[in-house]
Amino acid sequence: MKSIFTTILLLATFGAQANIILSQSFSGGNVSEGDPTGHRFTGNYTAANLGDDVLGVAVHLNVTGGYVGDYYSYLVAPNGTIVTLLNQPGTDIYGSPASGFNNLILSSGSYGNIQDQNGTAGAALTGTYNAQGNLTDFGTVSTPGGAANGTWSLFFADLGSGGGTPDVTSWSLDITVVPEPVTVALAIFAGVALVWTSRRWLRKTA
């Protein structure tokens, strides 16, 4: 049995590192209308394990009030990397006439760009879109970014007058990481040990 545990531990350490997505939500607040100084909301991301690096990021936004075409936002990682999320979205002359976001997801992939979305006047914009900037700047499988855990900052501003005061009701991060090899190994080792112990107990009670 000892040799089996040793083999599993080695396999887990060197070959069983599956990427996982870890989510964490943060609170926001009101943003002054027509004020480019905006507001910076911070969130202490703690969902990952120590040493887990960023392989990908998706951002969820819930916002009420104001015109989407006036919104400007960027995200700052713990290592200082900055990616623009929004820059007055919409193709109309005054930008998008939509009002707010209902679980709007900004990601990187085969999605339309948020900058090209107009939505419906007065209604919240929802769906999944590519951010205005490139979220892969935070890290990819081939080029991992810095540590996932730490202080992430969301800057949000309303650059135009009219439409009311935006309220960032909540924002969250889906961060893709690869677990530390030891973490994966211990998890598998514990599972096998539990099965082995259960089998021994069943033999004794049979």
- Structure-token pair, residue 5: 């545990």
Same domain assignment for residues 173 and 183 = no
Question: Helix or strand or coil: residue 113?
Answer: strand
What is the pLDDT, as a whole number, of residue 203? 55
Percentage with pLDDT > 90 across the chain: 72
Same domain assignment for residues 191 and 131 = no
Same domain assignment for residues 99 and 156 = yes
Q: Name beta bridge partners: 95.
A: none
Same domain assignment for residues 74 and 2 = no
How far CA 89 is from CA of 72, 99, 101, 115, 121, in Å, comes to 8, 12, 12, 4, 13
Same domain assignment for residues 69 and 136 = yes
Same domain assignment for residues 100 and 80 = yes
Using alpha carbons, select from 42, 47, 39, 107 the residue that is nearest to residue 73: 39
Alpha-carbon gap, residue 170 to 25, rounded angstroms = 7
Would you place residue 192 in the very low, low, confident or very high pLDDT band (cuts 50, 70, 90)? very low
What number of other Cβ atoms are within 10 A of residue 170's Cβ?
15
Alpha-carbon gap, residue 84 to 61, rounded angstroms = 14
In this structure, what is the dihedral angle of CA atoms 162, 58, 26, 64, given to the nearest 10 degrees? 20
Same domain assignment for residues 150 and 163 = yes
187's enclosing H/E stretch is helix 181-205
List the domain range (segments joined by +) for residue 61: 19-178
pLDDT tens-place string over residues 123-139: 999 999 999 999 999 99
What is the pLDDT, as a whole number, of residue 178? 79
Same domain assignment for residues 144 and 199 = no
Using alpha carbons, select from 74, 64, 63, 58 the residue that is nearest to residue 24: 58
pLDDT tens-place string over residues 141-187: 999 999 999 999 999 999 998 888 999 999 999 999 977 654 444 44
Name the more confident of 197 and 40. Answer: 40
Same domain assignment for residues 78 and 164 = yes
What is the pLDDT, as a whole number, of residue 63? 98
pLDDT tens-place string over residues 63-87: 999 999 999 999 999 999 999 999 9
- The pTM of the full predicted model, rounded to 2 decimals, is 0.80
The CA R_g of the chain, rounded to the nearest whole Å, is 22
Same domain assignment for residues 62 and 114 = yes
Q: Name beta bridge partners: 24.
A: 173
What is the pLDDT, as a whole number, of residue 180? 60
Helices 181-205 and 2-15, packing angle to 10 deg: 150
Number of domain units in the chain: 2
Same domain assignment for residues 125 and 183 = no
Alpha-carbon gap, residue 149 to 107, rounded angstroms = 19
Give the domain CATH number at 91.
2.60.120.260
- Residue 168, Cα to own-chain centre: how many angstroms? 16
What is the pLDDT, as a whole number, of residue 199? 55
Same domain assignment for residues 98 and 191 = no
